[in-house]
């Protein structure tokens, strides 16, 4: 087969980058840790943590359970943004709460709305250090006829360094807190008007929610921020609050094997695996974490995943890279590897970014790959990029007062695709 000039030029670049990656740490160390705000938000705290906060400001023990339930309702059912709106709480208690806490979420720095209805928000996370520059993350909302999916970030930057992923080329700044993760859902519902208003039917009684599905597929590796992700998703799934079913929440991981079982046992959400290759030597290049947790070990963790069944299949994400992982031999080995795992395979056309050495597979080849996998008995939808007109400018958002650095612009890339 004759290679195109583009493919030929990419080969030495890939070899050089692979050598650099082989000598680089598999996991990055966070440059910063979260510094608590002087007046913290109550968003993202568990009921037990809320109880402790109320105890700390002198709320009598006999009142704490009731006050927690009131706060929970106003924050997660009504979506109020200040204590004054919590009219079932006395004025004195509201004033006391407001003197110590907020119910703030991340600040919306910019919003982009695609022709197809996809929305992307650039969110600023306030810093607890005086003079410290605030960091930004993005989340993306993808509306469908029967659902609305919100793609949520778990880190500023990413722990990993997957070679085809733009965010993976950047530094890891820090993990997000449970408050900052839940806050992304709060912002989306704020912007979409997706809260129960006064006099409206309670959630689950005929009221269709615009944000109905959550995918942890934004910036970062969720399983390297396990505790905060777990705590946030348990709040999101709580039936007395936001109330998104665990079946409608999907956590995507590149394969942090020790925390996969914990995800099933402690969170209980649907699982997606960023697989992208069927041979260890290639996956070592595309997903260098594979050198620590190779394919066989990763797939065994999937076979053992609590709750996996034909009714609740594990999704395997497979980005289609021209001449790299898209041959029929790759498709055949993929089917062989997944035998015995209740699985669905999402084929993702690669979206090139500046400096990438990869190209998207030809559409004809994607169709052949998909057909083989489908005929072998697996659902294999090709995930269609959404909001392409705004994703083209991804990372070029800026606030009114300052332009993001080139490094930060490149890091702000959230996956915005759907089945």
CB 310 within 8 A of CB 341: no
The residue to which tokens 């109550």 are assigned: 42
Q: Of 139, 285, 394, 408, which one is the catalytic site residue?
A: 394
The pair phi, psi for residue 176, each rounded to 5°, is -85, 155
Non-local (6+) Cβ contacts of 107 within 8 A are 123, 124, 126
The residue to which tokens 């041959």 are assigned: 327
Please give the DSSP secondary-structure letter assigned to residue 272. E
CB environment 190-205: b (16+ within 10 A), e (fewer)? bebebbbeeeeeebee
Q: Is 138 a catalytic residue?
A: yes
Please give the DSSP secondary-structure letter assigned to residue 84. G
The rounded distance, in Å, linking the Cα atoms of 49 and 52 is: 5
Q: Of 136, 138, 221, 408, which one is the catalytic site residue?
A: 138
Name the pairing type of β-strands 213-216 and 249-253: parallel
The residue to which tokens 């999704």 are assigned: 315
For the chain, report the end-to-end CA distance as a whole number of angstroms: 33
Q: Which of 412, 386, 382, 415 is nearest to 399 (CA)?
A: 412
Q: Is 394 a catalytic residue?
A: yes
Non-local (6+) Cβ contacts of 47 within 8 A are 68, 72
3-class state of residue 195 by DSSP: coil
Q: How would you class 175 by CB atoms within 10 Å of its CB: exposed for 0-12, middle for 13-18, buried for 19 or more?
A: buried
Q: How would you class 281 by CB atoms within 10 Å of its CB: exposed for 0-12, middle for 13-18, buried for 19 or more?
A: exposed
Residues recognised as catalytic: 138, 394
């Amino acid at each position: 087969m004759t290679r195109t000039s583009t493919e030929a030029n990419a080969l030495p670049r890939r070899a050089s980058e692979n050598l650099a990656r082989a000598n680089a740490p598999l996991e990055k160390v966070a440059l910063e840790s979260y510094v608590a705000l002087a007046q913290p938000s109550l968003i993202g705290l568990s009921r037990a943590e809320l109880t402790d906060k109320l105890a700390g400001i002198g709320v009598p023990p006999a009142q704490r359970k009731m006050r927690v339930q009131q706060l929970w309702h106003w924050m997660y059912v009504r979506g109020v943004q200040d204590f004054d709106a919590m009219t079932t709480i006395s004025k004195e208690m509201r004033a006391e709460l407001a003197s110590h806490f907020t119910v703030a979420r991340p600040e919306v720095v910019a919003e982009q709305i695609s022709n197809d209805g996809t929305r992307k928000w650039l969110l600023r996370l306030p810093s607890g250090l005086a003079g410290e520059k605030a960091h930004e993350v993005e989340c993306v909302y993808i509306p469908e006829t029967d659902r609305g999916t919100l793609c949520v970030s778990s880190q500023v930057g990413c722990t990993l360094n997957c070679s085809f992923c733009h965010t993976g080329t950047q530094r890891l700044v820090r993990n997000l807190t449970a408050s900052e993760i839940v806050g992304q859902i709060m912002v989306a519902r704020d912007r979409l008007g997706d809260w129960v208003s006064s006099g409206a039917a309670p959630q689950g009684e005929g009221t269709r929610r615009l944000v109905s599905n959550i995918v942890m597929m934004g910036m970062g590796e969720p399983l390297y921020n396990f505790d905060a992700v777990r705590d946030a998703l348990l709040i999101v799934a709580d039936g007395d609050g936001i109330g998104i079913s665990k079946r409608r929440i999907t956590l995507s991981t590149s394969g942090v094997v020790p925390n996969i079982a914990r995800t099933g046992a402690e969170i209980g959400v649907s699982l997606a695996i960023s697989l992208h290759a069927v041979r260890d030597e290639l996956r070592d290049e595309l997903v260098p974490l594979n050198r620590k947790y190779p394919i066989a070990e990763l797939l065994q963790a999937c076979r053992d995943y609590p709750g996996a069944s034909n009714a609740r299949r594990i999704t395997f994400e497979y980005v289609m890279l021209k001449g790299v992982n898209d041959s029929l031999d790759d498709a055949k080995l993929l089917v062989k590897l997944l035998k015995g795992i209740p699985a669905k395979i999402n084929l993702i056309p690669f979206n090139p970014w500046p400096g990438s050495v990869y190209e998207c597979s030809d559409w004809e080849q994607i169709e052949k790959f998909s057909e083989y996998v489908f005929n072998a008995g697996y659902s294999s939808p090709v995930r269609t990029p959404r909001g392409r007109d705004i994703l083209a400018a991804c990372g070029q958002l800026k606030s009114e007062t300052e332009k993001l650095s080139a490094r930060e612009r490149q890091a702000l890339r959230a996956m915005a695709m759907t089945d």
